[in-house]
Amino acid sequence: MWKRGKAVLLASCTALAALLSASANASQAQLSDGVVKIGVLTDMSSIYSTLGGRGAVQAVKMAADDFMKENPDIKVEVVYADHQSKADIAASKAREWFDRDNVDMVTDLTNSSVAFAVIDLARQRNKIAIATGPASSEITNSKCTPVSVQYVYDTYALGRTTAREMMRQGGKTWYFVAADYAFGKALVGDASNAIKSEGGSVLGTAWAPMHTADFSTYLMQAQSSGAKVVGLANAGGDFVNAMKAAQQFGLTRTGGPQMAGLLVFLADVHAIGLQAAQGLEFSTAFYWDRDEETRKWSKRFLESAKRMPEQTDAGDYSSTLHYLRAVKAAGTDETGVVMKKMRELPVNDFFASNGRIREDGLMVHDMYLVEVKKPSESKYPWDYYTVKAVIPGEKAFRPLAESACTLVKK
């Protein structure tokens, strides 16, 4: 009797050990190729290289390393490539990653035209695409997909928050100098709708090609319109060149039109200088010096990147970690299961508090209205902004009731 009982006990213990072992390794066992593979597809050599580039790669690698320290049984590999702000190059590299290299998720995708091309390919291949750099609100509106996420900002939030603030200050008439491609058109459209809804008017738009070096003609058109606000609906090098030209031609002097940047980055202000950029107001998803938590992470980033992080860098880290935690919680890297888990899990970190990914793929979180400091107000390196207001995510982003996304149930 005792021997039979001992045998049963040993068999039970063996079965339990096997069950625990299987459970412990379940996450790894259900990963395709035994690894989670992330591709950072970013601009490393063109107009948006300061907004993505090596900083984006660094942020994603930081997230992967932090995750693997907490979860040593799950292997994460990060690859990266330069899309040069060209949709055809981006699509070619993404196709190679998906078809040959078994990349599970692609991220960054700075430049809206690039994002549209890669997201469509991700939909065809049933892979996940997380857009942290592109801004067109159509990514999660008319062109939404079940496999894509827009994480940091969109033109709806950027255009409306800045436009409404300028309107409150008396800027009722606008003229836009805008990027002549998908991003600029979406930004002008969303900002114009906000301006008109508040009783303002748009007097015109000058469309400037990407990589414009001389903005004088476009700015003279804006000045001659008599508009109280000149809205710069561009980004990166184009925004920097436009602001420098505006200063050169006296548009930034007292008595001239107000200058409004609709998508401004820390690197832009750094390049322009506080003397020229002081007083500029705009909305942003992240500022490194906002609180202790943002400062702590940003100083880690600074150690390796040798500059303070952009809102996109912070979004790259946060979104990658959110994705990896969803993979762990799901026990698989299968696209549909992971996307469902990403929508279920809240985002609570230095980048966003109580953020959530909606059914249209938009990550809704607070935005911040900031003003560029005067040179005399800046006390240490990268001390560039004053946070003037917090805009709750529900007010900053497009309501689901107004969404054209076919995934939204109404």
Residues 341 and 390 reside in one and the same domain: no
pLDDT of residue 85: 93
pLDDT means over runs of 10, the chain (410 residues) = 44 43 46 93 91 94 98 97 96 98 97 96 98 96 98 95 90 96 91 93 96 94 94 93 90 81 95 92 96 98 96 98 98 97 98 96 97 96 96 96 91
Closest CA to 173 of 240, 133, 225, 220: 225
Question: Residue 26: what pLDDT?
Answer: 41
Q: Decide: 123 and 145 in contact? Cβ < 8 Å.
A: yes
Residue 339 to residues 101, 104, 323, Cα–Cα distance (Å): 21, 12, 8
Decide: 395 and 295 in contact? Cβ < 8 Å. no
- CA separation (Å) from 66 to 28, 60, 70, 72, 75? 17, 10, 7, 10, 12
Residues 272 and 391 in one domain: yes
| Cα–Cα dist 32/292, whole Å | 38
- Number of folded domains that form the chain: 2
Question: Are 61 and 86 part of one and the same domain?
Answer: yes
Tell me what pLDDT residue 409 has: 83
Find the helix or strand (DSSP H, E) in which 212 lies: none
Residue at 189 is within a domain: yes
- Residues 353 and 273 both lie in one domain: no
Say yes or no: 374 and 357 in one domain.
no
Let me know whether 106 and 243 are in one domain.
no
Q: Do 216 and 310 lie in a common domain? A: no
Calpha distance 70→330 (Å, rounded): 16
Instruction: Tell whether 69 and 89 lie within a shared domain.
Output: yes
Q: What does the block give as tokens for 49?
A: 């290289």
Task: Note whether 121 and 38 are same-domain residues.
Answer: yes
Q: What is the reported pLDDT for 16?
A: 44
Do 314 and 351 touch, CB atoms closer than 8 A? Answer: yes
HEC sequence for 70-84: HCCCCCEEEEEEECC
Burial class of residue 203 (count of CB atoms within 10 Å of its CB; 0-12, 13-18, 19+): middle
Determine, yes or no, domain membership for 25.
no
183 & 273 share domain: yes
Instruction: Answer whether residue 21 is part of any domain.
Output: no
**Which amino acid is it at 240?**
V
Range of the domain at 228: 156-287+368-396
Q: Is 107 within 8 Å of 128 (Cβ atoms)?
A: no
Q: Are 27 and 72 in contact (CB under 8 A)?
A: no
Residue 102 resides in a domain: yes
- Is 24 a member of any domain? no
Q: What pLDDT score was predicted for residue 18?
A: 41
132 and 175 part of one domain: no
Residue 13, in any domain of the structure: no
Q: Decide if 410 is inside a domain.
A: no
DSSP string, 121-174: HHHHHT-EEEESS---GGGGTTT--TTEEE-S--HHHHHHHHHHHHHHTT--EE
List the CATH number of the domain containing 345.
3.40.50.2300
Q: Looking at the domain assignment, is residue 47 inside a domain?
A: yes
The backbone torsions φ and ψ at residue 399, rounded to the nearest 5 degrees and listed phi first, read -65, 145
Residues 198 and 267 in one domain: yes
